[in-house]
């Protein structure tokens, strides 16, 4: 199992909508992620800031990359650009910054 972590920035006025959109996520998108080995996926908001922290476990980078082959993923990513900071205007996906693991304990 590969652990992945990343952070994003939510637009402060869109935190409520971002949270609502994730509870629950579309069933089709959830099924695609599970089908391609994504497990134990969580997103956290750091109170008082715009920082969002994401964590997931994946079976392989190759399977993880296949999620991008699905229209439902692209539709979701585009929808989330309304709530999150993007690299540039009109970006197809919000800006996600990968994080490096410093410590892990089972």
pLDDT beneath 70, residues of the chain: none
Question: How confident is the model at residue 14, as a pLDDT?
Answer: 97
CATH number given to 2-99? 3.30.70.100
Question: How confident is the model at residue 48, as a pLDDT?
Answer: 95
- Distances from the Cα of 106 to the Cαs of 20, 44, 103, in angstroms? 31, 20, 10
The domain limits of the chain are 2-99
Question: How confident is the model at residue 36, as a pLDDT?
Answer: 98
| pTM of model > 0.85 | yes
Question: How confident is the model at residue 46, as a pLDDT?
Answer: 98
Question: How confident is the model at residue 22, as a pLDDT?
Answer: 98
Question: How confident is the model at residue 86, as a pLDDT?
Answer: 97
Reported residue count of the chain is: 106
Question: How confident is the model at residue 72, as a pLDDT?
Answer: 98
Residue 39 known to be catalytic: no
């Amino acid at each position: 199992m590969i652990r992945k972590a990343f952070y994003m920035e939510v637009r402060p006025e869109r935190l409520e909508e971002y949270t609502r959109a994730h509870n629950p996520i579309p069933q089709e998108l959830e099924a695609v992620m599970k089908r391609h080995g994504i497990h134990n996926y969580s997103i956290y908001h750091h109170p008082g800031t715009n920082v969002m922290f994401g964590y997931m476990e994946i079976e392989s980078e190759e399977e993880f990359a296949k999620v991008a082959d699905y229209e439902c993923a692209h539709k979701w990513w585009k929808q989330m650009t309304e709530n999150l900071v993007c690299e540039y205007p009109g970006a197809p996906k919000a800006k996600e910054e990968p994080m490096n693991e410093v410590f892990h304990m089972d």
